[in-house]
A = this chain, B = another copy of it.
């Protein structure tokens, strides 16, 4: 009997860096699937900023945290290596909430088969949470119109990069805020953004002004941070602000203050925070909104792949530093 490795949450995350002390790395025997189950050997695991919330003992969170002692929650793709389930056969590639483990059994609930021709990277980078989040946030909440100007922060990230490309496909001027010149280059020259601002450079306000001559109609916020004020104060009348993430502040003991609300009245702005658990019941509709863009070749992506289950732990810190280049994945 062979054994495999899984990683369980040992302590709740509070602030600062993610450390190995928060987890137990455990070896366990590979299970046999029971009648009606499949055994999956996981090959690709998604790392997402939402995990930081799942690791937090926040009773007010919209999604229950992982219980201490439980395997860490994650979306992933694997190969069915043994099946006692009539819907799945050995060799099927399946996606689901497999968790931080090399092998998992499943009764098939929440498990979907990958379409032929869809790579694991495409499935985890676009056709899952990042793509659904971008569609719900930009198209359904932000309601962009051709000719408007969109500014998206975290623009080289898994969600932001899709948001910007959806904006371009809808005829908007799109400016992305990123954390390095390399990312700025990628979103402009590979993804077709109209401009990029590296938030680690000086004179952010002046850069923003130069890149948004008609000011800003839609602001898709993934990060927070000091440029938030500059963007907020450049919003047009009847502008829409979609708040999806505040990664720059999740680590802070004392979160940075937000902008004063006077412009909300002067410009009659709407700000809406959203989180995907409210919208996952609507996933088929969101996927059908996304697919035409994917099929038209409008959505490029890049995966930043870490090697081996253990790399997931320190990998989460890349969300804070912004050093990942593209969608974070772990290959097992």
Contact = CB atoms under 8 A, between A and B. Distances in A.
Interface of A: 58, 60-62, 221, 224, 228, 237, 243-246, 249-250, 255-275, 278
A57 to B, nearest CB: 14
A283 to B, nearest CB: 17
B243 A265 contact: yes
B278 A273 contact: no
Contacts of A266: 58, 60-62, 273, 275
A125 to B, nearest CB: 22
Nearest to A272: B270
B265 A255 contact: no
Given A258-B261, A266-B275, A268-B275, 6 more contacts: A228-B261, A243-B264, A244-B265, A249-B260, A258-B260, A261-B273
B260 A265 contact: no
Name, among A244, A256, A262, the residue most crowded by chain B CB atoms within 10 Å (CB to CB). Answer: A262
A262 B275 contact: no
Contacts of A278: 268
Contacts of A257: 257-260
B269 A246 contact: no
B246 A262 contact: yes
A196 B249 CA distance: 33
Nearest to A256: B260
Nearest to A228: B261
A228 B255 CA distance: 16
A258 B259 contact: yes
B268 A270 contact: no
Contacts of A273: 261, 263-270
A243 B62 CA distance: 25
16 contacts: A62-B268, A228-B261, A244-B265, A245-B265, A246-B262, A250-B262, A257-B257, A257-B259, A257-B260, A258-B259, A263-B273, A266-B273, A268-B275, A269-B273, A270-B271, A270-B272
A273 B259 CA distance: 14
Which 9 A/B pairs are nearest by Cβ-Cβ distance? A264-B273, A257-B257, A255-B260, A258-B258, A271-B271, A265-B273, A243-B264, A270-B272, A246-B262
Nearest to A245: B265
A262 B60 CA distance: 13
A245 to B, nearest CB: 7
A82 to B, nearest CB: 40
A224 to B, nearest CB: 7
Nearest to A243: B264
A280 B65 CA distance: 47
A256 B263 CA distance: 13
Nearest to A255: B260
Nearest to A53: B266
A262 B271 CA distance: 12
Nearest to A262: B246
Name, among A261, A267, A269, the residue most crowded by chain B CB atoms within 10 Å (CB to CB). Answer: A261
A271 B255 CA distance: 19
B61 A261 contact: no
